[in-house]
A and B are shown apart, each in its own frame.
Chain A
Amino acid sequence: MKKMVFRLTFISCIVALFISGCSSGGSSTSSEEGTPGKEEKVTLRMSIVAGTDEMSAWQSIVDAFNQSHPKTEIKLERLPGGWNEYIQKMTAQIAAGNPPDIGRVGAAYMPMFSSKGQLEDLAPYTGDLKMEDYYSSAFDQYKQDGKMYGVPAGIYTMAMYYNKDMFEKEGIPEPPTDWNKAWTFDDLKNAASKLSSGKGASKQYGVYVNLNPERATQYLWTNGGDLFNEDKSKSMINSPESKGALSYLQGLIKDGYSPTPAETQTMPPDQLFLSGKLGILIEGQWMMPGFSKIDKFKWGVAPIPMGASGKAFTPNFVDTYVVYKGSKHVKEAAEAIKFFISKEAENILVDKNVGGMPVLKSVAESRKEDMFNPLSPEEKEVWFQSVEFSRAIPFTNNWQEVVDTIMKKMDLVGLKQLDASKAADDLAPELDNLLKQK
């Protein structure tokens, strides 16, 4: 019995040691970080999600800030993975009351974060920004009732990439580069039908139709329709114009000009384009770095074709610098963000070809030569001009759920199992409901 009591105490001592060892290990790390320097240096955490090839650009602007601001130090944390993982991690940190100070949030998530009160209002700190120096449309989406929950990091738009070799082979003339003279829906259909050929392994597609609202809303706009009405209180997806656009898109799939969602699951459309099996891909500027490496064929960029309204449209996606609620250094964080949209920082991003079109007009205009290479000067204009033809996707604070709901029907539309206008009719009341909930 005695022996056993001894053993019990012995083992519990070990357990206790183990546990205390762990906790002291943990706290020592954190006290290291909290050690005040000689003159109270403020340390800010900045957490972003980005590709490895982009990291040197982001690190460079952070380094530039750290060098010019001796009293503040930003630690850049890069989160591996995609937006889903980023949102999950931010959510956990916000719930625990310990979020990073600065973040970069995709446009689609902004309403969700700001409506839940998870972002600091930056209006009090950004009064000294000269708004006329910036593309104001990029700022507008984040201003609510005199508050500003974020600062645009860069503008991305979409356009039509096409394989020039395939066009030449089929005798299709190159589309114009002016957004005012964009191709029509019929032009696109004609081209797609000529470009589609083959069967099985040698199958070649004319165009890729993506029915995700984040990639398809411009077709509704250009046909005179929309996803929601102006104040996002009612869905417009079942308006005749919207239905017309959707039916047109489904027609391209039905005629076999576009791969179905099934095909693109394996072979992502950009890979399909890269391997020369896809003639036309309507996608975002973010594809530029990948496509600039193509050496097997010539390719170009043109405006997105227009529908019945006779006006071309492209969606814009503005990544946003934010300060998370709970930051203890909002002023310093705002200072850093202002630096990130300064001439110096924006030029660094252009140097590294990262972050979309600069929001600072002077940088955007003076660096045309360095951006969007290897495109010809006329084709570069497709991107520069696109900003004027761009609109923000009507993101809502429950946008993920909106997309989820829409995609459930659009999957069937893509599989040709549900008629596009019937899908729109089914969706309208569901979306109305979601809009009421927000």
Chain B
Amino acid sequence: MSDIQPAKRAEVSVWNSGKNKFLARPLLYLVLIFGAVLMVTPFVWMVSTSLKGEGAVFEYPPKVIPNPLHYDNYKQAWTTLPIGIAYLNSLKIAVIVTAGSLLTCSMAGYAFAKMQFVGQKFLFMLMLATMMIPGQVTLIPMFMWFSKINWVNTHWPLIIPPVLSNAFGVFLLRQYMSSIPKELEDAGRVDGLNPWQIYWKIVLPNCKPALAALGIFTLMGNWNNFLTPLIYLDDQKKFTLPLIIASFQGLYSTDWPLLMAASCISLIPVLIVYIFAQRYFIEGITLSGMKG
């Protein structure tokens, strides 16, 4: 995956310069690896706890590799609560929301970045402004509104609003698209393409890194969203993964190994998608329409 041609990439290294090269490299690795260890610690704890017996969780000093390994925590987590159904629910919602918001956000982002129209500035600022109101105060009116149209205890409140109102995504793609050279579009216009075709055939393929980033974020946000499904879903059969995972936390005590086993199970799809998406972060922009 990492062997994609480096020639396409912009060489922006400031560490490779001149005489410092030999000294800088090992130092760079040292810093990066130290940081990486820091980043991974909670994750390691999560995996390690998921394999521990209940009494061993708060042992001091903590053991990274538990002895014995309790693999059956995974089996137990899977069978105690309907994780399978929750998995399907979460997958369904995440796929629709991610695909849907990539489409709507890139469309709007394109218009805001590359077109001129009446009310452009106003609508853009309005969109940004709505992000500045904390969700805590719109929760009740939203719920009342969804209750009126009978969407409570369905998946619709978890699907439609994130697809149709994602100011973060619009803003992100607008920023990215605005740095795409005009020449690319002009070339398309000369070829007689209409705006939709320019958007679809020229702009989108050049936005892959940003689309990959947005895709990952949307997926993540959805996958881990706890409060919205908690408020809207009543029926355990409709629950999403975060609700099921939270179910391992009791009122007075928490079964940490099971909770962490369930969390690990839930992580797998996100990691897979991340690994797939991440190749786009190293794939550079192809400037077919521009001479070097």
Chain A residues engaging chain B, CB cutoff 8 angstroms? 4, 7, 22-23, 25-27, 29-30, 45, 47, 49-54, 77-83, 85, 88-89, 91-93, 95-98, 100, 201, 267, 270-271, 274-275, 284, 286-287, 289-290, 293, 296
- Which of B148, B149, B151, B251 is close to A50, meaning CB atoms less than 8 Å apart? B251
Does the CB pair B235–A77 fall under 8 Å? yes
CB A182 to nearest CB in B, in angstroms, measures 24
Stretch from B55-63, B167-175, B185-193 forming part of the interface with A: B55-63
CB A270 to nearest CB in B, in angstroms, measures 7
Q: List 18 A-B contacts (CB under 8 A).
A: A4-B194, A23-B150, A23-B151, A25-B154, A26-B154, A29-B153, A30-B153, A49-B251, A51-B249, A51-B250, A53-B250, A54-B250, A79-B230, A82-B249, A96-B143, A274-B55, A274-B58, A290-B253
Does the CB pair B231–A88 fall under 8 Å? yes
- Which of A22, A81, A289 is close to B160, meaning CB atoms less than 8 Å apart? A22
Q: Cβ of B147 < 8 Å from any Cβ of A?
A: yes
Q: Cβ of B246 < 8 Å from any Cβ of A?
A: yes
Q: What residue of chain B has the Cβ atom nearest to residue A55's Cβ?
A: B247
Q: Cβ of B24 < 8 Å from any Cβ of A?
A: no
Q: Residues 30-66 of chain B: 1 if any A CB is under 8 Å from the residue's CB, otherwise 0?
A: 0000000000000000000000001101111100000
New contact pairs (5) apart from A51-B250, A79-B230, A96-B143, CB-CB < 8 Å: A22-B151, A78-B236, A80-B243, A81-B249, A293-B54
Nearest first, the 5 closest Cβ-Cβ pairs linking A and B are A51-B250, A96-B147, A80-B246, A92-B143, A80-B247
Instruction: Enumerate chain B residues within 8 angstroms of A275, measured Cβ to Cβ.
Output: 58-60
Does the CB pair B80–A52 fall under 8 Å? yes
Instruction: Enumerate chain A residues within 8 angstroms of B253, measured Cβ to Cβ.
Output: 51, 270, 287, 289-290
Instruction: Enumerate chain B residues within 8 angstroms of A293, measured Cβ to Cβ.
Output: 54-55
Assembly CA distance A29 to B146 (angstroms): 14
Assembly CA distance A81 to B233 (angstroms): 13
Q: Cβ of B122 < 8 Å from any Cβ of A?
A: no
Assembly CA distance A289 to B252 (angstroms): 10
Assembly CA distance A365 to B80 (angstroms): 33
Instruction: Enumerate chain A residues within 8 angstroms of B251, measured Cβ to Cβ.
Output: 49-51, 82-83, 286
CB B113 to nearest CB in A, in angstroms, measures 20
Instruction: Enumerate chain A residues within 8 angstroms of B247, measured Cβ to Cβ.
Output: 52, 78, 80
Known contacts A78-B247, A79-B230, A85-B230; A98 and B60 CB within 8 A of each other:
no
CB A425 to nearest CB in B, in angstroms, measures 34
Chain B residues 121 to 161 lying within 8 A of chain A, measured CB to CB, are 139-140, 143-144, 147-154, 156, 160
Does the CB pair B143–A52 fall under 8 Å? no
Does the CB pair B150–A27 fall under 8 Å? yes
CB A296 to nearest CB in B, in angstroms, measures 8
The A interface, classified by DSSP as helix, strand, loop or mixed, is helix
Assembly CA distance A384 to B160 (angstroms): 54
CB A352 to nearest CB in B, in angstroms, measures 14
Instruction: Enumerate chain B residues within 8 angstroms of A80, measured Cβ to Cβ.
Output: 230, 239, 243-244, 246-247, 249
Q: What residue of chain B has the Cβ atom nearest to residue A92's Cβ?
A: B143
Assembly CA distance A85 to B61 (angstroms): 34
Chain B residues 212 to 240 lying within 8 A of chain A, measured CB to CB, are 230-231, 234-236, 239
- Which of A26, A52, A93, A96 is close to B250, meaning CB atoms less than 8 Å apart? A52
| Interface size grouping (class) on chain B | 35 or more
Instruction: Enumerate chain A residues within 8 angstroms of B153, measured Cβ to Cβ.
Output: 29-30
Instruction: Enumerate chain B residues within 8 angstroms of A29, measured Cβ to Cβ.
Output: 150, 153-154
Instruction: Enumerate chain A residues within 8 angstroms of B154, measured Cβ to Cβ.
Output: 25-26, 29
Assembly CA distance A80 to B259 (angstroms): 12
Q: Cβ of B255 < 8 Å from any Cβ of A?
A: yes
Does the CB pair A95–B143 fall under 8 Å? yes
Instruction: Enumerate chain B residues within 8 angstroms of A287, measured Cβ to Cβ.
Output: 252-253
Does the CB pair B150–A26 fall under 8 Å? yes
Q: Cβ of B110 < 8 Å from any Cβ of A?
A: no
Instruction: Enumerate chain B residues within 8 angstroms of A4, measured Cβ to Cβ.
Output: 194
Does the CB pair A52–B55 fall under 8 Å? no
Assembly CA distance A79 to B147 (angstroms): 18
Assembly CA distance A77 to B26 (angstroms): 57
Does the CB pair B81–A52 fall under 8 Å? yes
Q: What residue of chain B has the Cβ atom nearest to residue A100's Cβ?
A: B234
Q: What residue of chain B has the Cβ atom nearest to residue A81's Cβ?
A: B246
Q: Cβ of B248 < 8 Å from any Cβ of A?
A: yes
Instruction: Enumerate chain A residues within 8 angstroms of B61, measured Cβ to Cβ.
Output: 201
CB B278 to nearest CB in A, in angstroms, measures 32
CB A329 to nearest CB in B, in angstroms, measures 17
CB A298 to nearest CB in B, in angstroms, measures 16
Does the CB pair A25–B156 fall under 8 Å? yes
Does the CB pair B230–A89 fall under 8 Å? yes
Assembly CA distance A49 to B248 (angstroms): 12
CB B77 to nearest CB in A, in angstroms, measures 10
Known contacts A50-B251, A97-B147; A271 and B231 CB within 8 A of each other:
no
Task: Give the one of B61, B152, B194, B243 with max A CB within 10 A.
Answer: B152
CB A325 to nearest CB in B, in angstroms, measures 16
Q: What residue of chain A has the Cβ atom nearest to residue B159's Cβ?
A: A22
Assembly CA distance A49 to B249 (angstroms): 11
Task: Give the one of A89, A91, A96, A97 with max B CB within 10 A.
Answer: A96
CB B74 to nearest CB in A, in angstroms, measures 16
Q: What residue of chain B has the Cβ atom nearest to residue A295's Cβ?
A: B55
- Which of B80, B81, B243, B252 is close to A286, meaning CB atoms less than 8 Å apart? B252
CB B19 to nearest CB in A, in angstroms, measures 46
Instruction: Enumerate chain B residues within 8 angstroms of A53, measured Cβ to Cβ.
Output: 250, 255
Instruction: Enumerate chain B residues within 8 angstroms of A89, measured Cβ to Cβ.
Output: 230-231
Instruction: Enumerate chain B residues within 8 angstroms of A289, measured Cβ to Cβ.
Output: 253
Q: What residue of chain B has the Cβ atom nearest to residue A7's Cβ?
A: B196
Does the CB pair A92–B246 fall under 8 Å? no
CB B162 to nearest CB in A, in angstroms, measures 13
CB B144 to nearest CB in A, in angstroms, measures 4
Assembly CA distance A50 to B255 (angstroms): 13
Assembly CA distance A30 to B148 (angstroms): 12
Known contacts A47-B234, A92-B139; A26 and B149 CB within 8 A of each other:
yes
Instruction: Enumerate chain A residues within 8 angstroms of B140, measured Cβ to Cβ.
Output: 91-92, 95
- Which of B54, B58, B144, B246 is close to A96, meaning CB atoms less than 8 Å apart? B144
Instruction: Enumerate chain B residues within 8 angstroms of A95, measured Cβ to Cβ.
Output: 140, 143-144
Q: What residue of chain A has the Cβ atom nearest to residue B157's Cβ?
A: A26
Instruction: Enumerate chain B residues within 8 angstroms of A284, measured Cβ to Cβ.
Output: 252
Known contacts A89-B231, A92-B231; A267 and B58 CB within 8 A of each other:
yes
Known contacts A52-B81, A89-B230, A267-B58; A23 and B149 CB within 8 A of each other:
yes
